Amino acid sequence: MSLRIGRSSLLKKQPPEPPVAPEPNPLAEMGQAFLQTFETIGQGGFWMTDAAGALTYLSAHIRPDLLGEDAGPGGRFIDLFEPVVRTEGESGRTLQFVFARKSKFDGILVRRNIGRGERVWELSGEAMFDPLGEHSGFRGILKDVTEQHLHAEEKSQLVRYDPLTGLTNRHRMGKVLEQILTSFDAGSRCCTVMLLDLDRFKQVNDTLGHAAGDALLKQVAERLITIVGDKEAICRLGGDEFQIVLRDQGDQEFLGQLAYRIIEMLSQPYRIGEERCTIGASIGIAISPRDGTSADELTRNADLALYSAKNSGRGVFRFFTTDYLKAATERRELEEDLHLAIERDEFQLYYQPVVDARTDTVVGAEALIRWIHPVKGFVSPAQFIPLAEESNLICRLGEFALRRGCSDAMQWPKSLRVAINVSPVQFAEEDFVKIVQRVLRETRLPPERLELEITESVFVSDDEKVQQIFQGLKNLGVRLALDDFGTGYSSLGYLRRSPFDKLKIDQSFIRGATEFASRNRPIVEATATMAQALSMVTTAEGVETFDQLDLVRAQRVNYVQGYIYSKPISAEEFLSRASDNWQIVPSGPARQRADRLTMYRAVGVVHHDTYQTGILRNLSTSGALIEGLTDMVPGEMIAVDLGSGQIAVAQVIRVVGIRTGVAFEIPLVPDGAGGLCTLRRISSFDLWKAGLPVNKDDVLELAKLRGTPAGAITGIAL
């Protein structure tokens, strides 16, 4: 039997087949789990925007910190944030920039201040595009990196700034200076480096402690910021040394005034806790391109100028000159010779009489050491004493002076005493008292005929040790004099605690004391009165004129040293003149005259189309007197070549014989070294171009910097 299926049966609608379940995708499920875990543990979150940049999705746990507690997605994503200012050397890309580029990005730092306060976020993401290639928005991840950012900022601060004062540190300022100089046109823009060293800071640090020293440095930094006005221009090099870098500044008048204000401001008293202290400052100045075209060269030359300032009595500033380079070379040579000078017996003692101010009778002499160099002749103590201190030879030199002075005094009349200067380093030696005792015993000089002159700087060391040394010396029977009183870290406590027999009034107070309204006069009067009240005798140093002598006599100063009686003389001459009743008749000018810059040195003068050489006899801020010029007519304009690139335009005022008086068109300014200089200096290259005599090596070096072929430099007038 066959089965027939009709057409109608075939056309009948069949029921649908059940759907087939998709095959499981383990990787997709794992990825989804990872994303959920990433959000859940709070290590980061996800964000998405539409094509217009509006926020369409943000992980729930991040919303309170970015949008607030109740806000949801909406608004432009980039408007939520502010950029984070990058540290030096980092990329400067912003969120706005990468959104405009519609590209992939990562590591963009932004900040947002809402919810828990300001937070820093790191964003990464990519642009999305539909199947037709149209931009459809952005998506990405973000992470809270506030703590990491703060740590990086702290580390960056340590790398770039001094942690004590907050000023730029040595490393960063060195880079900044190098960048300034390499970006400048070497011949057209100036940059100034000022190096500053605090005077007497070590004394404060030693007496009041390191905490007080740190507090003092902070106050110094604050004063420098107030004066300079730009914190980023000031650097603490370390210790008590600071550096100031001024771009596009080479005006010597401005720089001199700035240096003066800094010194004056830093020399004002400081209050540290319950203590009050006073320090000072010395400054060296170098100006590019003339004084150097690299950071190392410019800093070295500023340091040489600072060295000169410190050796000029401190509390002053100096502009660099090429003479300092020559002096540095000579200083190294001199230091080498110094090591052999004692063995070769090249040192001698000269003696300056100390005279009774009432009777003009010599009562003794101060021993002054002199170095007779076999080639250089007399070497100034101002040169070799600092070298001896730096090279640890000062103790040997001091013992030589002590022994030779006591030995010479034994040949004098018994009524005369000898005064020997003692350096702070020598005084602090463990066996100093024993050395004095041994010298007295070997030379047989009675102790009461020996007077040791000690400066205030010995008091910066341990007070108990100082008092023990004083007591040991007094037990020997020697006399003690406080030298240069008032010029150092002064304290009346010294006079109360220490057994001084004499107080010496420094010549810096005698000088100018007789001038009208001088503050030196009341200082001299007060010092003399105080010494009398303490039963101490006084000696006035540096008396040169009769009005000064009258002043110290009127204040009942006991003894006088100075040219009005005698300059220092050799041991042989002193011995030949010494007697029990040796009187010296004072001789000298009646009155002190104001300091004048008198000199005798060659200068050049450009007159019409000629270059003459004359002799500069005196110099002031407004004019000069020059000898040896010819064809000068009153009213004519000339240019005076003062050397070192200093050209001063002047008018001839009068002509008397071979002497020409001129008035400067622009007044000169103090150079910080007791002299005068022009406001600006001209490079050797520019002087050569103007046809003036110059140094050939200087011209070739500057020509190289400016790209001028050496072969083009011809006809140099040396």
pLDDT tens digits, one per residue of 35-63? 766 766 666 788 899 998 898 888 877 77
Confidence label for 189 from pLDDT (cuts 50, 70 and 90): confident
Cβ atoms of residues 525 and 534 within 8 Å: no
| Cα dist from 679 to 302, 649, 668, whole Å | 18, 12, 7
Query: What integer pLDDT is reported at residue 266 of this predicted model?
Result: 93
Nearest to 393 by CA among 336, 432, 313, 438: 336
CA distance 368 to 657: 45
Query: What integer pLDDT is reported at residue 228 of this predicted model?
Result: 93
Confidence label for 184 from pLDDT (cuts 50, 70 and 90): low
Confidence label for 24 from pLDDT (cuts 50, 70 and 90): low
**pLDDT digit string (tens) for 556-607?**
999 999 999 999 999 999 999 999 899 999 998 887 654 567 778 888 888 8
Residue 53 φ/ψ, nearest 5 degrees: 90, 5
**pLDDT digit string (tens) for 365-424?**
999 999 999 988 888 888 888 888 887 789 999 999 999 999 999 999 999 999 999 998
CA distance 389 to 400: 15
pLDDT of residue 491 exceeding 50, the answer is yes
CA distance 328 to 472: 41
CA distance 518 to 413: 40
Query: What integer pLDDT is reported at residue 183 of this predicted model?
Result: 75
pLDDT of residue 705 exceeding 90, the answer is no
Residue 289, preceding peptide bond in cis (omega within 30° of 0): yes
pLDDT of residue 499 exceeding 80, the answer is yes
CA distance 299 to 186: 16
- The count of other CB atoms within 10 Å of the CB of residue 31 is 11
Rounded to a whole number, what is the distance in angstroms from the first to the last CA of the chain? Answer: 140
Structure tokens at 143: 């992470």
Confidence (pTM): 0.53
Q: What is the DSSP string of 536-604?
A: -EEEE----SHHHHHHHHHTT--EE-STTT---EEHHHHHHH--TT-B----S-SSPPPP-EEEEEEEE
Structure tokens at 717: 């007038």
pLDDT, greater one: 406 or 142: 406
Residue 659 φ/ψ, nearest 5 degrees: -100, 130
Residue 158 φ/ψ, nearest 5 degrees: -65, -35
Query: What integer pLDDT is reported at residue 611 of this predicted model?
Result: 84
- Mean pLDDT across 645-661: 89
Cβ atoms of residues 570 and 354 within 8 Å: no
**pLDDT digit string (tens) for 304-350?**
999 888 877 778 899 998 888 887 887 888 888 998 898 888 999 99
What does the angle CA 24 – CA 30 – CA 31 come to, to the nearest 5 degrees?
115
| Residue carrying the six token digits 């801020």 | 621
Instruction: Give residues with Cβ within 8 angstroms of 335, minimum separation 6.
Output: 387, 390, 391
Going from the N-terminus, what domains does the chain have, and what CATH number goes with each?
A: 42-153 (3.30.450.20), 161-320 (3.30.70.270), 331-577 (3.20.20.450), 597-682 (2.40.10.220)
Residue 107 zone, left/alpha/beta (φ > 0; ψ -120 to 50; rest): left
- Mean pLDDT across 212-227: 93
pLDDT of residue 709 exceeding 80, the answer is no
| Residue carrying the six token digits 């009349």 | 413
Q: In 265-408, at which residue ranges do the beta strands (DSSP E only) sit?
A: 270-272, 275-277, 280-288, 317-319, 347-356, 362-373, 377-379
CA distance 199 to 311: 12
Structure tokens at 78: 């980039």
DSSP three-state, residue 180: helix
CA distance 220 to 165: 9
- The count of other CB atoms within 10 Å of the CB of residue 634 is 12
Helix axes of 201-208 and 210-228: crossing angle, nearest 10 degrees? 140
Structure tokens at 74: 């909406």
- The count of other CB atoms within 10 Å of the CB of residue 657 is 6
Cβ atoms of residues 322 and 226 within 8 Å: no
Nearest to 351 by CA among 580, 581, 565: 565
Q: Which helix (H) or strand (E) holds 28?
A: helix 26-40
**pLDDT digit string (tens) for 70-97?**
555 667 888 888 887 655 444 457 888 8
